Amino acid sequence: MTETVGEWVAAARRIAVLTGAGISAESGVPTFRDAQTGLWAKFRPEDLATEDAFRARPSVVWDWYLSRREMIGRVAPNAGHLALAAFQARHPGRLTLITQNVDGLHQRAGSEGVLALHGNIFEDKWLDPPRACCRLEAAVPGSPPHCPQCGNRLRPAVVWFGEMLAQDVLAAAERASQACDLMLVIGTSGVVYPAAGLARSVPRGAKVVVINPEPTELDDAAHAVLRGKAAELLPDLLRI
């Protein structure tokens, strides 16, 4: 089956790639739904990644993001990220990379034009609409930092459950999905929408390939499922 998918890659003129946490697993970043360890073992990520959780326990949620920033800062892109970036460099304009990941590893691998649906864990924004006094550079350090004038708090610039995705980023991802003749769905459980819906929006005749060591919610949309790890399969699949 890998050989057939390799032929689809070679023949495809417009490839859309949707990645999730699994592509960063071999860099050492735990997937979103993995059991957490250490201090965070008693929390479910789904219960921390919401505005309600941040308002109820701002220091717990801020410190969770801080610990993830530190951990991601210590790891490097793996062979999967690098294979995608190298393919883009060899075939300009042929592959659009859509990611649900907030870790920035695709960008660090050298991928261009990454559509980061769920934001960037290393950036901050204001929790409440910023007033004239709210300046990022003036924020008072803390857990979380805050505006010295009005007390508005900083939060990570990621998309939490119940929040809208950036409309321009989502629209670009929809355009790429609806125009592709091949979509690779890599390392995502496929449970979070609207990202997962992209794999079901490809044109009639386009091929969808799921790459994941475990079953996913998107397997039924796939013309081929490659059961394996992204960093092991992608270098070979994208070698042309």
Residue 106 designated active-site: no
Q: How far is the CB of 118 from ligand BJW (least distance, A)?
A: 4
Per DSSP (E only), the strands in the chain are 15-19, 95-99, 115-116, 119-126, 154-158, 182-186, 207-211, 224-226
What is the C-alpha R_g of the chain? Answer: 19
Nearer to ligand BJW, 157 or 179 (CB): 157
The smaller minimum CB distance to ligand BJW, of residues 107 and 212, is found at 212
Question: Please, which residues have CB within 8 angstroms of residue 182's CB and are 6 or more apart in sequence?
Answer: 8, 9, 12, 14, 15, 16, 206, 207, 208, 209
CB of residue 18 to ligand BJW, shortest distance in Å = 9
User: Which tokens in the block code for residue 71?
Assistant: 């951990």
Alpha-carbon distances of 149 from 59, 62, 135, 138, 152, rounded to whole Å: 20, 20, 10, 10, 8
Region of 54-62, 90-98, 126-134, 206-214 interacting with ligand BJW (CB under 6 A): 206-214
Q: How far apart are the first and last CA of the chain?
A: 17
Candidates 14, 31, 75, 223: give the one binding ligand BJW (CB under 6 A): 31
**What type of residue sits at position 44?**
R
Q: Does 77 bind ligand BJW (CB under 6 A)?
A: no
DSSP 8-state symbol, 194: T
2 part of the interface to ligand BJW, by CB under 6 A? no
Sole binder of ligand BJW in the list 81, 118, 146, 155 (CB under 6 A) = 118
By C-beta, is 47 or 140 nearer to ligand BJW?
Answer: 47
Interaction of residue 136 with ligand BJW, rule CB under 6 A: no
Q: Select the span of 16-24, 51-59, 198-206, 218-226 touching ligand BJW (CB under 6 A).
A: 16-24
Helix (H, G, I), strand (E, B) or coil at 201: coil
User: Which one, of 208, 234, 178, lies nearest residue 26 by Cα?
Assistant: 234
| Residue 122 C-beta: closest distance to ligand BJW, Å | 12
Find the binder of ligand BJW among 79, 176, 216, 238 (CB under 6 A).
Answer: 216
Interacting residue with ligand BJW among 9, 15, 22, 116 (CB under 6 A): 22
Catalytic residue of the set 81, 106, 118, 146? 118
Secondary structure E strands in 49-205: 95-99, 115-116, 119-126, 154-158, 182-186
With CB under 6 A as the rule, give the number of residues binding ligand BJW. Answer: 33
Dihedral-angle region of residue 151 (phi above 0 means left; psi in -120 to 50 means alpha; beta otherwise):
left
Query: Which residues are designated catalytic?
Result: 118
Binding footprint of ligand BJW on the chain (CB under 6 A): 20-22, 25-26, 31-33, 49, 100-102, 118, 158-164, 187-189, 191-194, 212-214, 216, 229-230
